[in-house]
Structure 1
């Protein structure tokens, strides 16, 4: 039995369309962030995670987990961002071997500068393309897929 026989032609088209839409949407959002704020989508994700964190700082492991990134990807990203003054690493007072990733003043300024344009782009490119019923259907579908992924992760670590 082949994989193709388990997924119908229309379902394959749906899947390919979803992948294409996601890739193109992320590419466009990234391009706009670069042009409007001088940051990448990856920069934005790190800055937003730190902005939302208590005291605007997180341990690297917690940040990586929140972003769903591998340790090496996070390390390279943080090095690039630290060189630009967007984040800094600070020693952890309670754990001599540990450190914090801290949002700098420049990082906060950069994030706040990007928020309005980025939100407007999300609205115009994605949200405004959907009617209210489509938004509800998409929200329900997103929740169900996320639940299924959570169950799969639990079984894998379980």
Structure 2
């Protein structure tokens, strides 16, 4: 790789990191202040809301969200403590665990989603 190409790649990488940092801080602040939910917990709810019947296997959720396994477990525990999700064992496979959004979780998502999408539009749209 040429030094010019390498420098361009590194500069682009730093742009991506800067954009992510700026946007994630803004999302964290706005979602927390306006709806009492952090960005990571909102992302888990958002993924559940897009799933069939609002229910996803924990392993699949881990594959779809940017969190580590332990961070995802903590997020689900926080959401469960607030009655926003429930955890259920799979009847066919006792090793599998489902996470399902509750009515309270749906209501919070409905209130917080416009805040999330408006900020994405302001920062990333166009």
- The interval holding the TM-score normalised by the smaller chain is 0.7 to 0.9
CA–CA separation in structure 2 for the residues paired with 1:18 and 1:34: 24
Picking from 107, 110, 113, the partner of 2:108 is 110
**TM-score normalised over the length of structure 1:** 0.70
Cross-structure match for 2:30: 32
1:33, distance to aligned residue in structure 2 (A): 1.0
Cross-structure match for 1:71: 69
**TM-score normalised over the length of structure 2:** 0.86
Over residues 97-152 of structure 1, what are the superposed CA-to-partner deviations in whole Å (9 max), with x where a residue is unaligned?
Answer: 3221110111111101111122111112221xx3xxxxxxxxxxxxxxxxxxxxxx
Question: 5+ residue gaps in structure 1?
Answer: 131-158
Instruction: Check 1:4–1:87 CA distance in 2 against 1; reply closer, same or farther (3 A cut).
Output: farther
Question: 5+ residue gaps in structure 2?
Answer: none
Cross-structure match for 1:126: 124
Q: Which protein has the bigger helix share?
A: 1
| Bigger relative CO (Cα 8 Å, ≥ 6 apart) | 2
RMSD: 2.0
